[in-house]
């Protein structure tokens, strides 16, 4: 069993004011498995026979490698894809603030509210997400809505998405005069802090002389530049 105080809290920076997320819980889960049996075939067998977790494709080859230096993080990723829905409780509508109020507040303090684009997933870059559908099916309507309620920007993670997804999203940003901001979150020691996607032709700074915050060109979206923090 996993004891929250004994096994999960010490993995975090809670004592320094930090938070505890689902990754801390799953890291403790992965650690328990590795204490029970050695990495490699024994872990894969345990996952399939005892936990009834499907282990196939790339992640199977990774977990069969007992010398894999990223083993616990890779195991965490597999567990996240299979166990997260069992204990992660999504907030209800009553618990969340109306997005229009959030945008208005952000703009009132000089911030840049940005919608975080996910995009449909075929294969997870970090190995911790299942193939899943998000907003691509209604992206055109969504971006129009975001611009209509005052969002000045869209943010995205280039390594997460395909070139086709990025091209479509960037065209919609230009159509609706939205700033593009990019970044990559690091969830595993397997990920590199280098992001070669930023060097791709479609990720260059605006040729018109604008100063890009991440990818793409900054756009005024009808508001004073000083409020958006845009430097020309």
Instruction: Identify the H or E element spanning 163.
Output: helix 163-175
The predicted pLDDT at position 171 comes to 95
Q: Give the mean model confidence (pLDDT) for residues 196-223.
A: 47
Residues 102 and 79 in one domain: no
**Domain termination site, one of 55, 87, 119:** 87
Percent of the chain with pLDDT over 90: 59
Residues 36 and 118 in one domain: no
Residues 58 and 130 in one domain: no
pTM for the whole structure: 0.68
Q: CA triplet 23, 25, 30: central angle to 5 degrees? A: 90
CB-CB neighbours of 22 under 10 Å: 13
**Domain termination site, one of 87, 114, 141:** 87
Between helix 22-36 and helix 71-87 the angle, nearest 10°, is 120
The two structure tokens encoding residue 71: 């083993």
33-47 confidence digits (pLDDT tens): 999 999 999 999 999
- CB-hemisphere CA count at 13 Å for 141? 4
Residues 136 and 221 in one domain: yes
Q: Domain range spanning residue 32?
A: 4-87
Residues in Cβ contact with 129 at an 8 Å cutoff, skipping those fewer than 6 apart: 80, 81, 121
Please give the residue that has the higher pLDDT: either 223 or 106. 106
Between helix 71-87 and helix 57-64 the angle, nearest 10°, is 130
The predicted pLDDT at position 225 comes to 29
**Domain termination site, one of 44, 72, 87:** 87
Q: Give the mean model confidence (pLDDT) for residues 153-170.
A: 88
The answer, yes or no, to whether residue 207 has pLDDT greater than 50, is no
The predicted pLDDT at position 90 comes to 86
The predicted pLDDT at position 121 comes to 75
Range scoring the smallest mean pLDDT among 10-19, 25-34, 187-196, 209-218: 209-218
- DSSP conformational letter for 84: H
Residues 164 and 59 in one domain: no
63-94 confidence digits (pLDDT tens): 999 999 999 999 999 999 899 988 888 889 89
Q: How far, in Å, CA of 132 to CA of 19, rounded?
A: 27
The answer, yes or no, to whether residue 215 has pLDDT greater than 90, is no
Residues 128 and 222 in one domain: yes
Q: How far, in Å, CA of 139 to CA of 148, rounded?
A: 14
Residues 151 and 62 in one domain: no
Residues 74 and 98 in one domain: no
Q: Give the mean model confidence (pLDDT) for residues 185-196.
A: 76
Q: How many domains does the chain have?
A: 2
Residues 64 and 109 in one domain: no
Residues 143 and 159 in one domain: yes
Residues 181 and 130 in one domain: yes
Range scoring the smallest mean pLDDT among 50-59, 127-136, 141-150, 211-220: 211-220
The predicted pLDDT at position 208 comes to 34
Q: How far, in Å, CA of 217 to CA of 232, rounded?
A: 10
The predicted pLDDT at position 190 comes to 79
Residues 44 and 148 in one domain: no
């Amino acid at each position: 069993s996993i004891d929250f105080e004994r096994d999960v809290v010490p993995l975090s920076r809670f004592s320094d004011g930090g938070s505890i997320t689902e990754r801390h819980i799953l890291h403790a889960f992965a650690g328990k498995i590795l204490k029970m049996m050695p990495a490699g075939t024994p872990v894969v067998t345990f996952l399939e026979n005892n936990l009834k977790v499907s282990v196939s494709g790339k992640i199977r080859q990774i977990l069969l490698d007992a010398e894999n230096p990223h083993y616990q993080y890779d195991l965490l990723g597999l567990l996240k894809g299979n166990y997260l829905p069992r204990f992660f409780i999504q907030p209800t509508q009553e618990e969340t603030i109306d997005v229009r109020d959030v945008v208005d507040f952000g703009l009132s303090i000089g911030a840049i509210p940005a919608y975080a684009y996910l995009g449909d997933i075929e294969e997870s870059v970090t190995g911790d997400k299942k193939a899943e559908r998000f907003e691509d099916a209604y992206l055109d309507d969504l971006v129009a809505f975001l611009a209509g309620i005052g969002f000045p920007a869209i943010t995205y993670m280039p390594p997460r998405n395909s070139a086709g997804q990025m091209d479509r999203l960037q065209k919609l940003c230009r159509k609706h005069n939205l700033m593009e901001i990019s970044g990559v979150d690091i969830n595993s020691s397997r990920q590199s802090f280098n992001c070669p996607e930023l060097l791709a032709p479609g990720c260059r700074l605006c040729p018109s002389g604008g100063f890009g915050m991440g990818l793409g060109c900054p756009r005024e979206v009808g508001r004073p530049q000083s409020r958006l923090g845009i430097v020309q």
